[in-house]
Amino acid sequence: MLLKKLTLFLAILLTATNLAASEDNNHQYNFFVGNFDFSDHKQAAVLFGFQHQNEDLNRDTMIGNISPITGGFVTENSAAYIYTGFEWNIDMGALTFTPSFAPGLYHEGDGKDLGHVIEFKSEVQFSYELSKNSKIGFSYNHLSNASIGDKNPGANSYMFNFLQNF
Question: Would you say residue 4 has pLDDT above 90?
Answer: no
Identify the three-state secondary structure at position 19: coil
pLDDT, tens only, 39-77 = 998 889 999 999 999 878 888 888 778 999 999 999 999
Band of residue 1 on the pLDDT scale cut at 50, 70, 90: low
| Radius of gyration, alpha carbons of the chain | 16
Please name which of 104, 116, 91 lies closest in space to residue 141, comparing C-alpha atoms.
104
CATH class of 33-165: mainly beta
Domain ranges of the chain: 33-165
Identify the three-state secondary structure at position 6: helix
The sign of the CA dihedral 57, 122, 156, 111 is negative
pLDDT, tens only, 74-126 = 999 999 999 999 999 888 999 999 999 999 999 999 999 999 999 999 999 99
